[in-house]
Amino acid sequence: MRLSQMLFVTLRDDPADAEIPSHKLLLRAGYIRRIGSGIYAYLPFMWRVLQKVSQIVREEMNATGAQECLLPQLQPADLWKESGRWDTYTKAEGIMFSLIDRRDQQLGLGPTHEEVITTIARDMIRSYRQLPLHLYQLQTKFRDEIRPRFGLMRGREFIMKDGYSFHVDEESLKKTYQDMYQAYSNMLRRAGLAFRPVEADSGAIGGSGSTEFMVLAEAGEDEVLYTEDGKYAANVEKAVSLPADAETSAFISYEKRETPGTDTIETLCQFLKCSPTQVVKNVLYQTVYDNGLTVLVLVSIRGDQEVNEVKLQNELTRLAANYGAKAVIALNVPSSETQQTWVAKSLPLGYIAPDISDEYIAANKQVHAKFVRLVDKTAVDLKNFVTGANETGYHVVGANWNEHFKLPESVVDLRKSRPGDRALHNPEQTLSSARGIEVGHIFQLGTKYSQAMGATYTNEQGEEKPLVMGCYGVGVSRLAQAAVEQSYDKDGIIWPVAIAPYHAIVTIPNINDAQQVQIAEKLYTELNQAGIETLLDDRDERAGVKFKDADLIGIPYRIVTGRAIANGKVEVVERATRQSQEIAIDEVITTLKQWITAAIEVKN
Ligand code: ATP
Ligand code: MG
């Protein structure tokens, strides 16, 4: 392609609305254009990158035996009502765009396709002989994200590869899951990305496992905890570890103490001259279930630890059935104004004990009459601990479970792991932290959707069984931008060769020099004929402007028909290393072919 004939507009300055380098660079280099909040046009360069990423994804998926299809983006609400997700997706979370057609039918724009694929499986899969089966598609997804940002990283319209597999049992599912783990690793390696597979939260769905593929970059929205020995890596939402040991308490007898102005762990520990590891703190949450019921939750946890709200939400989802509900739609720490609307007398905030009486809330019709009491493992092991006295300005010291406070029945892991914690698999290893961009997620779904929607098959014994399912997603457009986030310098993008929009750019420093033009034209034609995707910068611009643009758009190899042509040579510059060398004109094609093949093959 000739730049003179392209829509080629680059910006010298950073666009005001872009925060992270990859977003700035893709805008400046003319890859994308913002049309609305979280809505972007993929301009020709970007589209080529996306097609290259898509091609790698296809090749790796097809190699596992999965088959490509294309499912509708317009999805009837009825399907989502069958799975029970319509209300959470359109109202509670509100992630799904919904609309009403001229026949007054409700529809949603597909944020994901479990419902659509499950209805197909329900209709078409009858027998174990048809299994396992894996279908995937590459498609634009719609999600009304709360905070669309960072360009293609979190769009409201974005490209995803999503695949769904069907199995007779967990064992067969696990095999496909392993194949996907390998396929995803291959995809990312081939696209030239540094990544880390991490254990991920499977949320309320449960299932026996899920892995996220994280591209390591400072701008990542996720935190990953890992050990140097490479044996453990998890999203912080899911991570488990051993906390630091608690210090031995000096309070050997049980007493109530006046502790004025100590409603935080810090002030309390200063006042009592004790360690936060000797304190049981009691954190109050409110949760709202999908049937509208508000339930108050008291989490007792060691004073130096924080609650992991993802773990807490999972536990509350497990308890949903006790409250006639299926899902949690909100979880937060109530504000003091909110609390005053529930409680008969005001709660001694900052001084609450694990046994705070249900009487505080019993009279109120807006909230469930009893607290849910959960205790984290870190608090269970404490002896002679300090905790609230249920009276403002007072704490108790030297307390013990089942002597002074009944140990709540639900002992759960609710603590947030942190860097520096010891690893479970080897306490000599400690957790380190890194930022990651989630580009892929593979998931063992089990029978959640097949059961809800009645998708069954007949097994060898003639019995009807629910289909066992897996699902696997790659954010194609997010991945493409993540590649830039990992690879740029002060002058612009440095594309990995495998996904660069073009391999090479032939730059004519002076288009009024007939010889420069003639050699450039010839190289341009022959390179393209040889399968090296090449641009020609034939614009009537100063050489400096052209070099700057070539650096900005990040094409791996630049060929300059400048002074060296007098000696039958051209200058070839590698974008990534900036190494420049003069190469005989008739050796350019073979040399570049070798470099490009090598650059792509290293990753294969
Ligand atoms: P996130 O936690 O980042 O919102 P998710 O858990 O909602 O992601 P999935 O539903 O697992 O994501 O979707 C599969 C993949 O699609 C993700 O791994 C990610 O790469 C991509 N993706 C999800 N949401 C977006 C978005 N708003 N914009 C671009 N890509 C996205
Ligand atoms: Mg999301």
Strand partners, 294: 288, 367
Question: What's this model's pTM, rounded to 2 decimal places?
Answer: 0.93
CATH code for the part of the protein at 502-599 = 3.40.50.800
Q: Is the pLDDT assigned to residue 50 strictly greater than 60?
A: yes
Counting every residue, how long is the chain?
604
In which residue ranges of the chain is CATH 3.90.960.10 found? 255-412
Q: Is the pLDDT assigned to residue 92 strictly greater than 80?
A: no
The mean pLDDT of 145-170, rounded to a whole number, is 97
Which ligand 1 atom is nearest residue 440's CA? 18
Q: Is the CB of 237 under 6 A from ligand 1?
A: no
Please give the Cα distance from 24 to 20 (Å, whole number): 6
CATH value of 3-240+433-485 in 3.30.450.40, 3.30.930.10, 3.40.630.30, 1.10.1740.10? 3.30.930.10
Q: Is the pLDDT assigned to residue 401 strictly greater than 70?
A: yes
pLDDT for res 93: 80
Q: Which of 176-185, 203-212, 228-237 has the lowest mean pLDDT?
A: 203-212
- Rounded to the nearest whole angstrom, what is the distance from the C-alpha of residue 534 to the centroid of ligand 1? 33
pLDDT for res 165: 98
User: pLDDT tens digits, residue range 498-515?
Assistant: 999 999 999 999 999 999
In which residue ranges of the chain is CATH 3.30.930.10 found? 3-240+433-485
Q: Is the pLDDT assigned to residue 207 strictly greater than 70?
A: no
Q: Among the bound ligands, name the one nearest to the CA of residue 475.
A: 1
pLDDT bin (cut points 50, 70, 90) of residue 427 is very high
The mean pLDDT of 40-68, rounded to a whole number, is 98
In which residue ranges of the chain is CATH 3.40.50.800 found? 502-599
Probe residue for ligand 1, chosen from 441, 479, 481 as the CB with the greatest number of ligand atoms within 8 Å: 441
Ligand 1 atom 8, closest CA? 438
- Rounded to the nearest whole angstrom, what is the distance from the C-alpha of residue 114 to the centroid of ligand 1? 15
Q: Is the CB of 439 under 6 A from ligand 1?
A: yes
Query: 565-570 — which CB contacts under 8 Å span 24+ positions?
Result: 565/515, 565/516, 565/519, 570/519, 570/523
Is the domain spanning 255-412 CATH 3.90.960.10? The answer is: yes
Probe residue for ligand 1, chosen from 478, 479, 481, 485 as the CB with the greatest number of ligand atoms within 8 Å: 478
pLDDT for res 551: 98
- Rounded to the nearest whole angstrom, what is the distance from the C-alpha of residue 269 to the centroid of ligand 1? 42
Q: Which residue intervals of 436-542 are DSSP H helices?
A: 448-453, 476-486, 514-529
Q: Is the pLDDT assigned to residue 164 strictly greater than 90?
A: yes
Which ligand 1 atom is nearest residue 162's CA? 14
Q: Is the CB of 154 under 6 A from ligand 1?
A: yes
Tell me the backbone φ, ψ of residue 400, rounded to 5 degrees.
Answer: -140, 145
- Rounded to the nearest whole angstrom, what is the distance from the C-alpha of residue 167 to the centroid of ligand 2? 26
pLDDT bin (cut points 50, 70, 90) of residue 204 is low
Q: Is the pLDDT assigned to residue 6 strictly greater than 90?
A: yes
Q: Among the bound ligands, name the one nearest to the CA of residue 141.
A: 1
Q: Is the pLDDT assigned to residue 147 strictly greater than 90?
A: yes
Q: Is the pLDDT assigned to residue 206 strictly greater than 70?
A: no
User: pLDDT tens digits, residue range 560-576?
Assistant: 999 999 999 999 999 99
Mean pLDDT of the chain: 95
Please give the Cα distance from 35 to 124 (Å, whole number): 40
Provide the percentage of residues in the chain whose pLDDT is more than 90: 90
Q: Is the pLDDT assigned to residue 149 strictly greater than 90?
A: yes
Q: Is the CB of 478 under 6 A from ligand 1?
A: yes
Q: Is the pLDDT assigned to residue 83 strictly greater than 70?
A: yes
Which ligand 1 atom is nearest residue 213's CA? 18
Q: Sort strands 98-100 and 456-458 into parallel, antiparallel or unpaired.
A: unpaired
Please give the Cα distance from 507 to 575 (Å, whole number): 13
pLDDT for res 604: 57
Q: Is the pLDDT assigned to residue 344 strictly greater than 80?
A: no
Q: Is the CB of 443 under 6 A from ligand 1?
A: no
Ligand 1 atom 18, closest CA? 440
Better-scored residue on pLDDT, 329 or 175: 175
pLDDT for res 602: 65
Q: Is the CB of 111 under 6 A from ligand 1?
A: no
Distances (CA, A) of 22 to 8, 29, 495: 19, 10, 11
Q: Is the CB of 151 under 6 A from ligand 1?
A: no
- Asked whether 519 and 570 are in contact (CB, 8 A), the reply is yes
Q: Is the pLDDT assigned to residue 17 strictly greater than 90?
A: no
- Rounded to the nearest whole angstrom, what is the distance from the C-alpha of residue 475 to the centroid of ligand 1? 6
